[in-house]
């Protein structure tokens, strides 16, 4: 995957750092990853009532992710047509904003189908790989990506920073700057 980032000097409100951004699984369509990242940035910046909303989007390898996790609440996406719950569907944006306030993760197929929300990611990981100061949400994302071929996008509720996990490690961090 090739990527082109364009910055308007003085117009960007984030600092982007990363190590291996080209490590997006082949099973995740680039448009799905890009849309999930943009949505995550919006949730981090606008959130609810001006505060960031903390959540996790797990993209790809959905069968294994579902095996290694469990549903904490009734699945709010069950029973809807695939087109209605596709991440690229503009009418789904507000629904995702509302459900992102729930504990647990969104599991999204590589094709963009939102399979579930409120999913507990119980996969364990070596916490020594996680930078100090990150919480349970980040440890869960590291754990699930260490055991699957998925990629996870995590929004920190406390800071609004967005981190991307792959193979149990942070591969990119988008830090909100204060103005």
Bridge partner list, 120: 70
Measured distance CA(166)–CA(148) in Å, rounded: 9
Q: Is the separation of the CB atoms in 28 and 59 below 8 Å?
A: yes
DSSP 3-state assignment of 57?
A: strand
What is the reported pLDDT for 129?
63
The set of residues, in sequence order, having a beta carbon less than 8 Å from that of 98 and lying 6+ positions away, is none
Residuewise pLDDT in 10s, the chain (179 residues): 566 666 555 444 444 444 444 578 888 999 999 999 999 998 888 777 777 788 999 999 999 999 999 999 999 999 999 999 999 999 999 999 889 888 899 999 999 999 999 999 977 666 556 666 678 888 999 999 999 999 999 998 888 899 999 999 999 999 875 54
What is the reported pLDDT for 17?
47
Q: Sign of the CA dihedral 6, 30, 20, 16?
A: positive
Q: pTM score, two decimals?
A: 0.84
What is the reported pLDDT for 125?
63
Which of 17, 5, 30 lies closest to 163 in space, CA to CA? 17
């Amino acid at each position: 995957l090739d990527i082109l980032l364009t910055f308007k000097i003085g117009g960007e409100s984030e600092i982007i750092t990363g190590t291996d951004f080209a490590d997006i699984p082949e099973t995740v369509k680039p448009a799905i990853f890009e849309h999930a990242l943009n949505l995550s940035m919006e949730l981090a910046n606008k959130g609810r009532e001006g505060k960031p909303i903390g959540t996790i989007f797990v993209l790809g390898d959905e069968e294994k992710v579902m095996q290694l996790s469990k549903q904490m609440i009734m699945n709010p996406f069950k029973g809807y047509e695939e087109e209605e719950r596709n991440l690229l569907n503009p009418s789904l944006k507000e629904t995702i904003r509302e459900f992102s306030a729930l504990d647990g993760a969104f599991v999204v197929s590589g094709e963009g189908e939102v399979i579930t929300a409120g999913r507990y990611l119980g996969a364990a990981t070596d916490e020594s790989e996680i930078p100090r100061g990150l919480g349970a949400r980040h440890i869960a994302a590291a754990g699930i990506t260490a055991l699957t071929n998925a990629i996870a996008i995590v929004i920190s509720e406390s800071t609004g920073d967005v981190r991307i996990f792959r193979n149990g490690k942070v591969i990119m961090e988008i830090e909100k700057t204060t103005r």
